Structure 1
Amino acid sequence: MSRATVNRLLLGLIGVLLVLGALLVLAGGLDVYRHLGVTPPGWWPLTSPHQPVLSTASRTRWRDRGWWWPAVVAGLAALVLLALWWLLAQLRRPTPTELELPAVAGPGLRVRLRGTALAEAVQGASLGLPEVTAARVLLLGRGRRLRLQAILLLEPGAGVAAAVEAFRAGPAAHAAAAVGRTGEQLPLDLRVQVARSPAPQHPRQQRRRARRAARVS
């Protein structure tokens, strides 16, 4: 499961819990149950505007138990540690620092390649493709989960299908061969953008520019 998927699941779960809690508080604060003639069960929280969110019995129920405060502290500490772990996971660089390549000069030889160097090489090769004016390439993942993420900006009117095929057959195939994926492609997340053609100028604007140029000269 990728980091983006985990983030979406966690944020979605937290969002659902917050929305449900807000709806319960709102329903009790606005006295919705009485207006609708609904009698919620006795354990239902906040059923009227004059009722606190946590009753006195709920707040003092476990205070005389020896395990209560250690359990509260342990739970809060676990939440803090999970939050810190999540924060560090977001700050961690997704690009692999080094890639171990298959030996090319005999057994016992370890050849390593910087991940940023491979991404820069793919980006440079992408700029040499026809009709490509700008490119950005990242190398993500590790091991068998290694993948390419690329963005290509094409000239106005360029063919998208031809650009995609040229990238897959050229830079992407060379990157796969560089990391030992002979005969197979690296997983690719490719986004292609075509630049807009410059809007035609109105004859009046052309005359104004001509006058300004004449004044300057």
Structure 2
Amino acid sequence: MSAVRSTVNRVLLALVGLVLLLAGAAVLGAGSGLLDRPWTGPHDVLLATGDRTRYTDTSWWWPAVLTALALIVSAALWWLLAQPRERRLRRFAVDADDGGGAVLRGRALEEVIAADAAELPGVDHVAAVLGGTPTAPTARLLLALSPHAVPGTILDELDGAVLRRARTSAGLPVLPAEARLRAVSHRATRVT
């Protein structure tokens, strides 16, 4: 979903940028005399009094302007609220087998997942972040792999052992995870 949201954000930003660019070009065109009414000096206005007050006596003008502005503000607020909240999950409920429950800190599960994944052969460093909602947590992992690591094996072990243990220990039926792998770049050292 975040890829779709990212694409929509880019398209909307491009459209807003294009509208602003065209509006700026129109103002520059009117100011430089390229359009039908040349701008004659610093005390001149781009729109004459007749152009500015042409529709003010009609009954539809102000309701149309206010409706358009309300739609623009509503769309901007909707867009702002639709953005993802990239927050860490502070705590979430764990269902105990005895019918009770407990609250688990999100950082505690992050540290356990990172420590468990760091034990995999070929993994140099792991960063884990727990996100989502308290009822449906998700995990994001960044694994730094050593040069001899086999990514397919690491992903199988990550899903088969590390995330399964995390799901079991936290009492979660599922724990969706996104793992990003990157190679560790080591500096060359001179041997003398």
Relative to the length of structure 1, the TM-score reads: 0.62
In structure 1, give the amino acid aligned to 2:182.
Answer: Q
Tell me the residue number matched to 1:178.
Answer: 169
Give yes or no for the alignment of 1:111 onto 2:102: yes
Give yes or no for the alignment of 1:86 onto 2:80: yes
3-state SS, counterpart of residue 120 of structure 2: coil
Tell me the residue number matched to 1:18.
Answer: 17
- 1:40-79 to structure 2, matched below 5 A, reads 47-48=35-36, 50=38, 56-57=49-50, 59-61=52-54, 68=62, 75=69, 79=73
Residue 153 of structure 1 and its aligned partner are, at CA, apart by: 0.8
CA distance in 2, matches of 1:22, 1:12: 15
Residue 27 of structure 1 and its aligned partner are, at CA, apart by: 6.2
Any unmatched runs of 5+ in structure 2?
40-44
Preserved contact between residue 93 and residue 134 of structure 2 (Cα < 8 Å):
no
Give yes or no for the alignment of 1:95 onto 2:83: no
Preserved contact between residue 96 and residue 171 of structure 2 (Cα < 8 Å):
no
Preserved contact between residue 86 and residue 131 of structure 2 (Cα < 8 Å):
no
Preserved contact between residue 147 and residue 188 of structure 1 (Cα < 8 Å):
yes
- 1:89-168 to structure 2, matched below 5 A, reads 94-105=87-98, 107=99, 109-143=100-134, 145-168=136-159
3-state SS, counterpart of residue 163 of structure 1: helix
CA distance in 2, matches of 1:167, 1:127: 10
Q: Evaluate the alpha carbon distance shift between residue 148 and residue 48 of structure 1 in structure 2; reply closer, same or farther with a 3 A threshold.
A: farther
After superposition, the CA RMSD in angstroms is: 4.2
Residue 21 of structure 1 and its aligned partner are, at CA, apart by: 3.8
Relative to the length of structure 2, the TM-score reads: 0.68
Preserved contact between residue 29 and residue 49 of structure 1 (Cα < 8 Å):
no
Residues 47-101 of structure 1: CA deviation (Å, up to 9, x unaligned): 5473776664554356567x949x75xx48x849x56x939x67x5622222111
CA distance in 2, matches of 1:178, 1:53: 69
Residue 157 of structure 1 and its aligned partner are, at CA, apart by: 2.1
Q: Give the number of the structure whose residues are more often helix, by fraction.
A: 1
Q: Evaluate the alpha carbon distance shift between residue 190 and residue 102 of structure 1 in structure 2; reply closer, same or farther with a 3 A threshold.
A: same
Residue 112 of structure 1 and its aligned partner are, at CA, apart by: 1.4
Q: Give the number of the structure whose residues are more often strand, by fraction.
A: 2
In structure 2, give the amino acid aligned to 1:9.
Answer: V
Q: How many residues align?
A: 183
3-state SS, counterpart of residue 95 of structure 1: coil
Residue 190 of structure 1 and its aligned partner are, at CA, apart by: 0.7
Residue 139 of structure 1 and its aligned partner are, at CA, apart by: 0.9
Residues 131-189 of structure 1: CA deviation (Å, up to 9, x unaligned): 2111101111115653211011121221111111111112211222234344xx52221
Preserved contact between residue 157 and residue 194 of structure 1 (Cα < 8 Å):
no
Residue 118 of structure 1 and its aligned partner are, at CA, apart by: 0.9
